[in-house]
Structure 1
Amino acid sequence: MSSHFFPRDEYFMRLALREAARALEHEDVPIGAVVVREGEVIGSGHNEREVREDPTAHAEMIALREAARALGSWRVLDAVMYVTLEPCPMCAGAIVLARIPRVIFGALDPKGGAAGSVLDVLGQPRLNHRPTVQGGLLAGECAELLQAFFAPRR
C-alpha cells in the first residue's frame, strides 16, 4: 500500500469528509465516499443504513451505484474512489467487481477493514481485478469524525 498522494487527492478526500458529515444528520456512522473520473465527481455517498433501514447502504456502495449510473455501465473504469474509512469486505468486493483502478482511504479500520487491516480483499491476487490502494490520507481528520460519533455511544 502506497502513501504518495497528489495535491488533488486531498481536495477529493475533503469532499468525502463533507459527505461523511452528512451521515450525522440521520444518526449514522460518519463515513463518506466520492468516485472521481477525469477530475469530476461522478458518484458520492455517505452511510444511509439507518435512514434506509438497509445494511448495504454504505457510503461506497451508494457512490458506486451513482457512478455506474453516470457512466451507463457497471464497469467504473479510469476512476478513483476516495473514502474516509478503509472499506469493509462488502464494499471492497463491490470495488473489485466495479473495476475501480485506484482506491484512497483515510482512517484504518482495525476491526473490519478489507484493504489490509483485517482482510485484504483489495489486494487478493486470486481475484480478477486488484486496484492500487493508498491509505492514510487525512487519516487524523477522518478518525476524529468517527471518534466524536462513537464517544457518547460507548
Structure 2
Amino acid sequence: MRYINFEGENTISPDDFFMNEALREAKLALAEDEIPIGAIVVCKGQIIGRGHNLTERLTDVSAHAEMQAMTAAANFMGGKYLKDCTLYVTLEPCVMCAGASYWFQVSKIVFGAYDVRMGFGRLNQKVTHPKTEIIGGRIFLNRSGRRWVRGGGRKTLT
C-alpha cells in the first residue's frame, strides 16, 4: 500500500489518479480474458483494496471488481465497514455491487463511465447507503487518454 501527496503544482487530481489505478486493475482483467472492469478502495489517501473481475477464472458470477476490492479493503481494515473510504470503479456498479457497498457502508463511490444496461442508476430506488456520495460518469477514461472500445465481440481498452 502506498501513500500519495497531492499538494503542489502540476499534479493530477486525486480522483484522476485513483481512477487510473482502477484502470490498471481493468487491464489486469483484460489480460486474464475477463470483462475489463477494475476497482480500488481508498482510505485517507491510501489504497487499501484492489480488485478486478474474476468471474471467469473463479466461475463465480459474484466475483466482480467491486466485490474483490471491498472485501480486500475490509480485510485490510480488520473489520466489516468501510466508513470514510472511497470506492473507485471504472464502470458504474451493478445492483449487486451497489447493494454490497450499502452493507460495507462505503462513504463515496466514484465511477468512470455509466452502464446503461446493468448499472444501479437505472433503478428508481436507492440501493446505496443513505450517506454514500456518488460521483459518476465524469469521463475519467477520456481525460486519461484511454477509452473503452466495444466491437466485434472483443473487449479492448485503448
- Fold similarity call, TM over 0.5: yes
Higher relative contact order (CA 8 A, sep 6+): 1
Work out which of the residue numbers 78, 84, 96 in structure 2 matches 1:78.
84
Greater fraction of residues in helix:
1
Counterparts of 1:142 and 1:18, CA distance in 2? 13
State the superposition RMSD in angstroms: 2.1
Which residues in structure 2 correspond to 1:7-86 (within 5 Å)?
7-86=13-92
Could you tell me how far apart the structure 1 residues matched to 2:53 and 2:26 are?
Answer: 7
Q: Does the aligned pair in 1 maintain the 2:105–2:129 contact within 8 Å?
A: no
Q: Number of aligned pairs?
A: 141
Aligned residue type for 1:144:
R
* Alignment deviations for residues 16-75 of structure 1 (CA, whole Å, 9 cap, x no partner): 001001001221110000000010000010001011111001000000000000001111
Map of 2:134 onto structure 1:
133
More strand by share: 2
Structure 1 counterpart SS, 2:41: strand
Contiguous gaps of at least 5 residues in structure 1: 1-5
Tell me the amino acid that sits aligned with residue 130 of structure 2. Answer: H
Identity across matched positions, percent: 40
Q: What amino acid is aligned across from residue 26 of structure 2 in structure 1?
A: A
Corresponding residue of 2:153? 153
Match of 1:24, SS?
A: helix
- Shift of the 128–23 alpha-carbon distance from structure 1 to 2, 3 Å rule, reads closer
5+ residue gaps, structure 2, are 1-11
Work out which of the two has the higher radius of gyration on C-alpha atoms and give 1 or 2.
2
Q: How does 1:84-123 map to 2 (within 5 A)?
A: 84-114=90-120, 116=121, 118-119=122-123, 123=126
Distance apart, 1:151 and its partner CA: 1.4
Instruction: State TM-score, norm by structure 1.
Output: 0.84
Counterpart Cα distance in 2 of 1:152 and 1:142: 22
Structure 2 length-normalised TM: 0.82
